[in-house]
C-alpha cells in the first residue's frame, strides 16, 4: 500500500501543547508515519497508509478537539 498524505482542519488548537496532543493521538493510529499540526492555521497533515478519516476524527476528539 502506497503512502498518502491527507490534510484536515482542526478546531480548538491554540498553542504548541495543543499541537503535540493532536500529533501524539494521531501518531498512535496503525499505518500513520508522520503527523504535522499547526495551531496557527488549524491544519493537520497526516501521512501513511491504511488509516481512515474516521480514525483521524476519533484521535482528534480523544485529544480534546474536533475536525471542521
Q: Per-residue pLDDT for the chain (68 aa), expressed as one digit of tens each?
A: 789 999 999 999 999 999 999 999 999 999 999 999 999 999 999 999 999 999 999 999 999 999 99
Structural domains in the chain, sorted by start: 4-67 (3.30.70.100)
Query: Per DSSP, what are the bridge partners of residue 36?
Result: 45
Angstrom distance (rounded) from CA 36 to CA 34: 7
Answer whether 0.85 is exceeded by the pTM: yes
Cell matching residue 54: 474516521
Amino acid at each position: 500500500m502506497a503512502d498518502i498524505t491527507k490534510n484536515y482542519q482542526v478546531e480548538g488548537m491554540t498553542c504548541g501543547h495543543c499541537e503535540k496532543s493532536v500529533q501524539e493521538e494521531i501518531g498512535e493510529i496503525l499505518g500513520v508515519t508522520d503527523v504535522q499540526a499547526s495551531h496557527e492555521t488549524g491544519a493537520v497533515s497526516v501521512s501513511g497508509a491504511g488509516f481512515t478519516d474516521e480514525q483521524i476524527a476519533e484521535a482528534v476528539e480523544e485529544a480534546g478537539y474536533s475536525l471542521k
